[in-house]
Amino acid sequence: MMNTTIKWNGDMAFSSTTPSGHELKMDASEEVGGKNTGARPTELLLNAVAGCTGIDIISILKKMRLDPTSFSMDVEGDRADDHPKRFTKIHIHYTLEGDLPEDKVIRAIELSTEKYCSVSHSLNAEITVSYSLNGERKEL
């Protein structure tokens, strides 16, 4: 079980210390009464999906004794127009560089997205992925 306490800091601002000891600040935009002193919860959600799958992929590649020279992710989230304006689709594009066999990269991405990433499996959104390996973009 994981627990956290979130404290209201006035207006639309909230803060917490995560169970792992890191400070987290959230706020709304000024247009809706916030002061823009922290990330939006939806921004954190997109980052959480990418961070979760990124950690999985690096872990899997390291178990395969492979070391990327660089790794980044571009994440796009489509949201519904009506409330609760949930994410309906999230696309993650992985960009990897290094001496990495393509089949191993694909396997690491598939294992993360289909089996291991607890964040993405906690959402009710279609999640698609693509990747670039050493500058060549491909769809999965």
Structure tokens at 20: 């792992």
Structure tokens at 43: 């921004």
The whole-angstrom separation of Cα 65 and Cα 58 is 10
The sign one gets for the Cα dihedral 131, 98, 62, 17 is negative
Please give the order of strands across the beta sheet that includes 126-133: 70-79, 87-97, 126-133, 136-139
Give the per-residue pLDDT at 105: 97
Mean pLDDT of the chain: 96
Average of pLDDT values for 49-60?
98
Place 49 in a pLDDT band, splitting at 50, 70 and 90: very high
Q: What pTM value is reported for the model?
A: 0.90
Give the per-residue pLDDT at 126: 87
Percent of the chain with pLDDT over 90: 93
The whole-angstrom separation of Cα 77 and Cα 62 is 28
User: Would you say residue 140 has pLDDT above 90?
Assistant: no
